[in-house]
Amino acid sequence: MRHIILDLHDDWMRLDARIEAVSGEIEGIGQSEAHCRALRTIPGVGPIISTALVAAVGKGEAFESGRDMAAWV
């Protein structure tokens, strides 16, 4: 049983390290991308939400108005 728990602990530590690395990459993208920086000026919008929104809609050119985008969201 101890071996299993130690293996699970190692897996957990590797996942923590990977999450930290990916979070750093997302933060970097959010800082370097102008659209992400603009979105982050909205209270409550951080690096994950801003990069996800930019990845999904780009500049928002597919929408005729802000109302259309709000309906999509």
Do residues 27 and 47 make contact, with C-beta atoms less than 8 angstroms apart?
yes
The per-residue b/e assignment along 21-47, b for 16 or more CB within 10 angstroms, e otherwise, is eeeeebeeebeebebbeebbeeeeeeb
Tens of pLDDT, residues 25-67 = 999 999 999 999 999 999 999 999 999 999 999 888 889 998 9
Question: How many independent structural domains does the chain possess?
Answer: 1
The pLDDT assigned to 60 comes to 83
The pLDDT assigned to 36 comes to 93
In sequence order, which residues have a C-beta less than 8 Å from that of residue 19 and are 6 or more positions away? none
What is the pLDDT averaged over residues 12-23? 96
pTM: 0.71
The pLDDT assigned to 21 comes to 97
Where would I find the H helices in 1-73?
Answer: 2-32, 34-39, 47-57, 66-72
Residue span of the structural domain in which 25 resides: 2-72
